[in-house]
Amino acid sequence: MGSVSNLKIDLVEVCEAAARACAPFVGSGQKDEGDGLAVDAMRSRINKVKMNGTIVIGEGAKDEAPALYDGEKVGTGEGIGVDIAVDPIEGTNLFAKDMPGSIVTLAAAPAGSMYQPGSCFYMDKQVYPKAARGKIDPEAPIADRLKQLAAALGKDVAELKIFILDKPRHHAMMKEVYAAGAKIRLATDGDVNGAIQAVLNMGSDALFGIGGTPEGIVTACAARAMGAEMFGRMAPQKDFEIELCKKEGIDTTRILTRDELITSDDCLFIATGLTSGAYVRHVKTGHDTYGKFMTTDTVVLDGGIGNIRHVQTTIHV
Rg (CA), the chain: 19
CA pair distance 149, 162, nearest whole angstrom: 11
In order of 104, 208, 211, 265, the CA distances from 230 in angstroms are: 21, 10, 14, 14
The answer to whether 266 is annotated as binding is no
The answer to whether 181 is annotated as binding is no
The answer to whether 209 is annotated as binding is no
CA pair distance 258, 255, nearest whole angstrom: 10
List the Cα angle 71/116/268 in 5-degree steps. Answer: 85
The answer to whether 59 is annotated as binding is yes
The residues that bridge with 110 in the sheet, in sequence order, are 82
CA pair distance 248, 250, nearest whole angstrom: 6
The answer to whether 189 is annotated as binding is yes
The answer to whether 35 is annotated as binding is yes
The answer to whether 191 is annotated as binding is yes
Residue pair 229/219 in contact (Cβ under 8 Å)? The answer is no
Residues 6+ away with beta carbon under 8 Å from 183:
158, 160, 161, 162
The answer to whether 124 is annotated as binding is no
Residue pair 306/225 in contact (Cβ under 8 Å)? The answer is yes
The answer to whether 92 is annotated as binding is yes
The answer to whether 81 is annotated as binding is no
The answer to whether 169 is annotated as binding is yes
The answer to whether 232 is annotated as binding is no
The answer to whether 260 is annotated as binding is no
The answer to whether 168 is annotated as binding is yes
Per the annotation, binding residues for substrate are 90-92, 122, 167-169, 189-191, 212
Binding-site annotation, residues: 35, 59, 87, 90-92, 122, 167-169, 189-191, 212, 215
Binding-site residue set for Mn(2+): 35, 59, 87, 90, 215
